[in-house]
């Protein structure tokens, strides 16, 4: 059996149409899961640590550990940015603060990471301290040996294919955790 040029072109268009229809159907099924997936996204603050550079004790970092999870089957989410606002307080008297408002520490790195279906993204958000802030932090920790708490307000920007139209979806919360040294 011999095919002429017209039959080959017609057959190619039929195959292309079928392939396109299958692709669009599969993509549509994924897109139908967008809003339910956004409702299932979970953000959790796990801890805040104070780390001094062992080679230079005037350099230190307050690291905030945040987990972002997507338990849904939707695969089109991305993390754009995780921002944290931090201040320390004495656990015995919350009115005694370091970096309290309006002088809170802010760290806001761009993450730009995918958040696939059934996954957890763990981020460490560092807030680098100047030598002066390091000295203040060490003094505050030493002065309040009964415990130092950290109030963290964190914001996570979730990006979708609709970002250019609707912007990012923002998750924000405030939590208190004890300051950890590791």
The CA distance from 132 to 135, in Å, is: 5
Q: Are residues 73 and 107 in the same domain?
A: yes
Q: Are residues 98 and 136 in the same domain?
A: yes
**Range of the structural domain that residue 6 is part of:** 1-32
Q: Are residues 28 and 98 in the same domain?
A: no
**Largest alpha-carbon pair distance within the chain?**
92
Q: How many domains does the chain have?
A: 2
Residue-wise pLDDT tens digits, 119-158:
999 999 999 988 888 888 889 988 888 889 999 999 999 9
The CA distance from 112 to 28, in Å, is: 24
Q: Are residues 154 and 128 in the same domain?
A: yes
Whether 117 contacts 72, CB under 8 Å: yes
Write down the pLDDT at residue 162: 79
We report the CATH number of the domain holding residue 93 as: 2.60.40.1820
Q: Are residues 66 and 14 in the same domain?
A: no
pTM above 0.85, yes or no: no
Q: Are residues 110 and 160 in the same domain?
A: yes
Q: Are residues 14 and 98 in the same domain?
A: no
Residue-wise pLDDT tens digits, 78-107:
999 999 999 999 988 888 888 877 777 888
């Amino acid at each position: 059996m011999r095919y002429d040029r017209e039959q080959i072109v017609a057959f190619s268009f039929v195959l292309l149409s079928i392939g396109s229809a299958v692709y669009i159907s599969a993509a549509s099924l994924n897109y139908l899961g967008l809003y339910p997936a956004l409702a299932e996204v979970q953000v959790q603050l796990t801890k805040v640590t104070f780390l001094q550079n062992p080679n230079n004790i005037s350099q230190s970092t307050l690291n905030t550990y945040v987990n972002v999870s997507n338990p849904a089957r939707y695969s089109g989410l991305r993390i754009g940015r995780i921002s944290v606002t931090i201040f320390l307080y004495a656990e015995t008297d919350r009115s005694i603060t370091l970096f309290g408002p309006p002088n809170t520490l802010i760290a806001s790195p761009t993450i730009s990471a995918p958040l696939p279906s059934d996954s957890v993204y763990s981020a460490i958000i560092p807030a680098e301290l100047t030598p002066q802030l390091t000295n203040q932090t060490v003094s505050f920790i030493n002065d309040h040996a009964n415990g130092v708490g950290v109030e963290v307000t964190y914001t996570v920007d979730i990006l979708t294919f609709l970002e250019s139209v609707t912007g990012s979806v923002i998750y924000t919360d405030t939590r208190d955790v004890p300051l950890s040294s590791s």
